[in-house]
Amino acid sequence: MSKNVVVVAESRNGNLRNVSFEVLTAAQTIANGGHVTAVVFGEASEEQVQQLAQHGADTVQIAEHADLASYSTDGYTQAFTQIINSIQPDAILIGHTATGRDYAPRVAARLNLGLISDCTAVAVEGDDVVFTRPIYAGKLFQTRKVTSGTIFATIRPNNIEITEPNTARTANVVKTSVDVTNIRTVIQNVVRKTSGAIDLTEAKIIVSGGRGVKSAEGFAPVRELAEVLGAAVGASRAACDAGYCDYSMQVGQTGKVVTPDLYIACGISGAVQHLAGMSNSKIIIAINKDPEAPIFKVADYGIVGDLFEVLPLLAEEFRKV
């Protein structure tokens, strides 16, 4: 049965985030030949509309309001609730990003809908749409489906393989003015701590350092290998707590959840709270001088050794490739 699906296209620094194309790919699976609308808050460039169309949007609906130029919980919640009420879709998908996980439950509550959050896969089985999501900090996966009413789910970034863009596709553009009032928080200034760095949640390769790096300076070989590999730099909470690096780099249960193709854990023991953020990485390499470190239980490849000796050697070898 074909369905009418709405997704949210998310941008950062004027560029559409990969998760926008991932939700569009999932939307096409669910729509099953039906209609897919990509909602953009604030404004969308011609290039963005084209990209969304090529990745599966039939309509690009722009929610216009000056106060939607930057994210606010109140603004997005109000605007998206109005859009969903006007479209009345069969299914809604949002990226499980810092913003998506903030406003999705609020929209669900306002619309009296259930929400299946943090999904890593979507499949259509007969008339059912079945979502897979991790539970117990990633130790198990469960499947969930909505049995009545509108399907509403958030999709974890970096899990759904984006379909090739179809350059022949175009989309209708619909501009809707939304009523946004009483926004209680306003972004006055954005301080980019990781300017120029690769976004951890969308990175294909991550090199992370733990307490084993021993100091802020000890992060240098981690950063060096990351640079050679074109990777993002992550960290364990112990490394952040010790002041070796910024909390924006923390991976884990109370940090960022990442699913790169390759995760290299350096001087990280593999506590369950760290594993909750990275154990779904496609390939895990652990470098630790303790052969009994729990990280080796989840690692595909392990190097028992001193990270200060191993990392420069790896960087040197990868530089040759």
110 is in an annotated binding site: no
Q: Among the candidate windows 36-44, 163-171, 180-188, 262-270, which touches ligand FAD by CB under 6 A?
A: 262-270
- Residues from 210 through 229 that contact ligand FAD (CB under 6 A): 210-212
- The answer to the question of residue 45 lying near ligand FAD (CB under 6 A) is no
Q: Smallest Cα–Cα separation from 17: which of 97, 76, 88?
A: 97
Q: Binding marks (x or -) toward ligand FAD, 236..255, rule CB under 6 A?
A: xxxx----------xxxxxx
| 8 Å CB contact between 6 and 85 | no
Residue 124 assigned ligand-binding role: no
Q: Of 30-38, 100-108, 190-198, 208-216, which part binds ligand FAD (CB under 6 A)?
A: 208-216
Residue 267 marked ligand-binding: yes
Per CB under 6 A, the segment of 14-22, 54-62, 65-73, 264-272 that binds ligand FAD is 264-272
| Interior angle at CA 60, CA 54 and CA 66, nearest 5 | 130
Least separation in angstroms between residue 98's CB and ligand FAD is 14
273 is in an annotated binding site: yes
Residue type, 44: A
Please indicate if the annotation marks 35 as binding a ligand: no
78 is in an annotated binding site: no
Q: Is 190 marked as binding a ligand?
A: no
- Residue 48, marked binder: no
Is 253 marked as a binding-site residue? yes
Stretch touching ligand FAD by CB under 6 A, among 19-27, 71-79, 178-186, 306-314: 306-314
Compute how many residues bind ligand FAD; rule: CB under 6 A. 28
Is residue 262 part of the contact set for ligand FAD (CB under 6 A)? no
Q: Is 201 a binder of ligand FAD (CB under 6 A)?
A: no
301 bridge partner residues: 285
Q: Which member of 268, 298, 314, 315 binds ligand FAD (CB under 6 A)?
A: 268
The sign of the torsion formed by the CA atoms of 23, 24, 27, 29 equals negative
In DSSP terms, which residues pair with 100 in a beta bridge? Answer: none
CA 149 to CA 111: how far, in whole Å? 11
Q: Which range of residues in 10-18, 88-96, 153-161, 283-291 is near ligand FAD by CB under 6 A? A: 283-291
Q: Which one of 274, 279, 280, 281 is in contact with ligand FAD (CB under 6 A)? A: 274
What's the min distance (Å) between Cβ of 308 and ligand FAD? 6
Please state the closest distance from residue 241 (CB atom) to ligand FAD, in A.
8
Please report, in range form, the residues annotated as the binding site for FAD: 211, 236-237, 250-254, 267-274, 288
Please report, in range form, the residues annotated as the binding site: 211, 236-237, 250-254, 267-274, 288
Which residues here bind ligand FAD, judged by CB under 6 A? 210-212, 236-239, 250-255, 267-269, 271, 273-274, 277, 287-290, 293, 306-308
